[in-house]
Structure 1
Amino acid sequence: MTNAAQLAPPVRAGIPRFLRRHPTMIAGGTVLAAIALAALLAPFFAGDPATMMPSERLQSPSARYWLGTDHLGRDVFARVVHGARVSLAVGIVVAVSSIAIGVVIGMIAGYFRKADPVIMRVMDALMAIPAILLAIALVAVMRASVGVVMLAIVIPEIPRVVRLVRSVVLSVREAPYVEAAQVGGTRLPVILVRHILPSTVPPLIVQATYICASAIIVESTLSFLGAGVPPETPTWGSMIAQSRMYLPRAPWTVFAPGFALALVVLSVNMLGDGLRDLLDPRMSRRM
């Protein structure tokens, strides 16, 4: 019986060589891990991002204020580091939630022919809903919070995961080892979990990185528009929105959160590109 598990030893054997040939993946993973660690330890070294000191407003970067202060005298470095907690939390929760929901729906759509047309038409309808417009509508109806923003981003991402899982299931359900399990009387849940689900893991890992990057961008966009998390919560998008009128006088108040946002998204995409090459079957054979 041939399945994805038999490809694991060659892949593991070639990982060190692969990493040497793809330094961008190492760089992306290292930067992302460093930012995540800084966000986790932010309360211990970054200070209070809400402390206002009017006498220190719009101070340029110095030994005391590494990234300067904003128009209210708040430490920009502290706000950037604490803002990373919101962005990373949104990215990770959205990626995990959309993958978990999309896997279940996608496997049902791909394995059961009668359910496929109905499910896919519903998914097509959800894909037509822009995440930003959905979030604005939800915030108008519900109280603005991180949970509402996550929900607004998860809903449009689920159809993309469903389509990916469905395509994999359609190609695997006719495989000889799946048919042998069916003939042998294996229960349906066991067939789905043991024989079909492992084939969806490699593409889902890659898809999760792209969903995470997309969710971070959408959350920052919503915060910039004022439809994201509450204003008292430091986020990169809200920092850019609040400081954009001071750009000529204090450019660091905009460039610091903007650079952090670009760095995180770039690191996630670099990590995703490396995982895509590593988990691709053709890449595994070359390795």
Structure 2
Amino acid sequence: MKLGNEIEGDGRFVRQPNRFTARIEEGGEHPPEPGRYQLYASYACPWAQRSLIVRELLGLQEVIGVTIVDPIRDEKGWRMPGGDPVTGAEYLSELYHATDPDFRGRYTVPAVWDRTAGRLATNDYPQITLTLETAFAPWHAEGAPDLYPAALRGEIDALNDVIYHGLNNGVYKAGFATSQEAYDEAVVKVFETLDMLEERLSTRACLHGDALTESDVRLYTTLARFDAVYHSHFKCSIRRLVDYPALWSYARRLHAIPAFRDTTDFDQIKRHYFVTQTNINPTGIVPAGPELDWTAP
């Protein structure tokens, strides 16, 4: 894996900005329409799994198509086994260059292709799930949860920001750090955030009360990877997820929901991180374990 310009001179990891940030919205260049968009995602990637979870929770499987990429990435980026049924492309990078021939960054998932416009509309992963929850509301399944209720949006956005900086991206800042100072700063923040979330979830079923929201989706995908990958591979080893009673119970409750469970593939997760990220695991050896019972009550 080549991080290129994402490592600062002081050894800190600074994630590249999203290249395609157009909104799918009424009256815009990319209006919401059933059958118009194809989502490119990976079961291995936490940012992409968010969009897969939300798509299933809201019952949008027949409204927005999906192409799942191979978990092992090479110098060409994410490969689409058998070719993409929508565009015929073999690699996601082909769609990036079809949209911006001068693109030189990492090719990231999730990304959304607009079939009508013949280009990528967005790879803005924080916005993609919010778009599914708002712009595609007319096509939500009957009884689908309101993951982004208007009355809670300010609170959801604020907590999402804390979770992103302290945990979702925080584990990457620890794992990709190339100086002791950068690592120490990041790993302390990771566990301060986990400690805060443990306390919060000790008195409620979900992050904002009893009902699932966007915040729970964002937290789950990091928790699902924590003990299997981040604890060892990213050196986030002060404590494990299973050492947090409330967080571990919460993670298992979410995993029991089909949209979460069916999009969580621990084999693909481990192979992606340990095989692809040779900058921190040069042998490419995938470790055995950990043996965790995600089905325990």
TM-score by length of 2: 0.28
Higher RCO, 1 vs 2 (CA within 8 Å, ≥6 residues apart) = 1
TM-score by length of 1: 0.28
Larger Rg: 1
Compare the two structures and name the one with the higher strand fraction: 2
